[in-house]
Amino acid sequence: MTSQASVIVRSFRFSLFAIALTAFVAAPLATAKAGDHAAKNLKVLLDNGETLEKGMKTLSKGLGVKCNACHVKGDFASEKVPAKEHGRTFLKAVLETTDKPKREAALTELLKAMKLKQAKKPALVWSAFDSLKKK
């Protein structure tokens, strides 16, 4: 075998190895991402995929809080944060009515429970409900 042919064979083997290694590493990562998306411990809201996450992020921005105001970082199913139950009560009340005074009263109760004076951006709080669906 000539030296040029030897170089081509080695390059080909290296390329095959690189492709196999990439597939070996990438496959579990893709599976983990897909499996991580399924929400657990939902008692009020329906998991409708990315819109649940988007709606919750919009809600937290509207309130002016981070996710950890109601959730344990990395474990959204955890019940360790007391504000989570206040959030559920608020969501139930708001999703069950279109009556503006009742919705505003529910928001006021949530803000009190979370020790907030007011929502940072109330319009965002209400727009979050466009994507959140009751279970």
pLDDT tens-place string over residues 29-54: 444 444 455 778 888 888 877 888 89
Q: What is the pLDDT of residue 34?
A: 42
Q: What is the pTM of this model?
A: 0.68
Domain housing 29: 1-36
Residues 74-130: pLDDT tens digits? 898 999 999 999 999 999 998 888 899 999 999 999 999 999 999 999 999 998 877
Q: What is the pLDDT of residue 2?
A: 72
Do residue 85 and residue 109 come from a single domain?
yes
Q: What is the dihedral of CA 83, 84, 87, 89, to 10 degrees?
A: -100
Report the C-alpha gap between 29 and 36 in whole angstroms. 10
Q: What is the pLDDT of residue 7?
A: 62
Look at residue 45 and tell me if it is in a domain: no
Q: What is the pLDDT of residue 130?
A: 72
Do residue 31 and residue 69 come from a single domain?
no
Distance of CA 48 to the CA centre of its chain: 11
Query: Does the pLDDT value for residue 64 go beyond 90?
Result: yes
Q: What is the pLDDT of residue 33?
A: 45
List b or e across 74-97, with b for residues whose CB sees 16 or more CB atoms inside 10 angstroms: eebeeeeeebbebbeebbbbbbee
| Mean local confidence (pLDDT), 65-75 | 92
Q: What is the pLDDT of residue 31?
A: 43
Report the C-alpha gap between 94 and 104 in whole angstroms. 9
Q: Are 135 and 43 in contact (CB under 8 A)?
A: yes
Do residue 71 and residue 113 come from a single domain?
yes
Number of domains the chain contains: 2
The candidate with the shortest Cα–Cα distance to 87, out of 102, 103, 106, is: 106
Look at residue 135 and tell me if it is in a domain: no
